[in-house]
Structure 1
Amino acid sequence: MEPYDARPLAGRVALVTGAGQGVGRGIAMRLAAAGAKVAVNDLSPARADAVAAEIRDHGGDALGLAFDVTDAAAAETAVNGLEIDILVNNAGVPPGGGRPNRFAEMPPEDWQLQIDLNLAALMRLTQLVIPGQAKRGWGRIIQISSGASARGLAIGVAAYGAAKAGGESLIRHLGVEYGPAGITANSLALGLMEGVGRAGDPGVDRLINSIPIGRLGRPDDVGEACVWLSSEAGGLANGQVIHLNGGTVFGR
């Protein structure tokens, strides 16, 4: 048996979008702890730089990389010159959290924003980084998706779910097209995460009780899953949608 590798991503460069807070921060921190140099993207330069500084304070290697993933020119300028081995497409919530609405009442600009942020940005960034990955013969594309892609919900997130589902479909095709080039592509469809409310609130407690493991997801949970998918140990996973949700059963 080979020795355990405590830094399985040493020498790799990762870009994590929307990493200035929440789940994205958790992903960036765990990838850095596994040895990757992390480009921390966020709309806010202050948030991006703060997380990058936090990583460096813990002995990791990181830089802040603030840009709007829906801005094609800004994205191209930001990644130009970076040899990105691992792309984690996490950015998915518009500034202010978006405006949930029944679809028929949803203004076109609202559903277009969901498509731009959750599908077009994934496509754009993938096109920017995957040629270099193919040339180097190794790469990882990870989409942070949602259970809303696979389940109808009456909470005004139809456009968000549709955009996430489109991203999952893209991931399946990427896995087939680029697997022979040493690149894997996978989605992590998240369930209920910390931040939906506080324990003790009856509504939040009902949500927690619906999860078989009895707790909400944490940013570190997602980060560890990204480390595994990015490592050689996770190299057999390709073209998959993994539901990271504590065992929540859809269709109930």
Structure 2
Amino acid sequence: MDVRRKRIRVLVDAWSDIMRMNVKTREEAIDVLKRVYEEAKVEPIRGASNPPDLFDKEMISLYIIGKWGLGIDKELSPEFLNKVFWKEMLVERVINALNSVEDEESLYRKVPELREILDDNFVARTLRFAFTLYYFGFRDEEWFRSVLKKVYKVLSRFEETVRRFVKFYIAYKVGESLERNEIKNRMELNIAKNLLALELSIPRAVPSNNYVLEVAKHYFNLPKKVIEELKRD
């Protein structure tokens, strides 16, 4: 079973426990999520770092699998959803509003409560939400890239946060090619990284080879014969 399927299984099991245990708070849901991941010896979606709020962020995956995969949101009360998944629901509203806005002020008019809480962390969560929909197959890559570019345009003062996420995405895509044995040497690796950066039109977003390896190992089985090459920038 590949890592993606393992993560889906963990998230389905977490939902089963949440329903069985009659979980009522976000904190309780996070505890369940963390326990089920640890018992399965699977890591949540992550980049190169392992932040202390990783499982709070991974509530995005739980929400998406629950709503988009299992349709559980139709069985739960609005009160429960608003209490446990308020962060994810707000991010979802922002993503839905992005198509019809051109700048930060117009986004605030669509989602007024965003004005008080918008920061780098929220922008990163928004991009993580979009990536997670793509990662689990609920949205295609073209849609994800359009969200990435729109966030870069609309929330331009957070360009460094967007740039960091683009580096993660490029590392993920290069890892995908490495697993398929489509990249066989450092030259091909560097070409792949730079082509992706050009396609996204977000400057200074090419990750280092070490970063690519660190991210990709959380998602793919990398061929050993290229790992040593990949480690050297």
Same fold (TM over 0.5): no
TM-score (norm 2): 0.37
Name the structure where strand makes up a greater proportion of residues. Answer: 1
TM-score by length of 1: 0.35
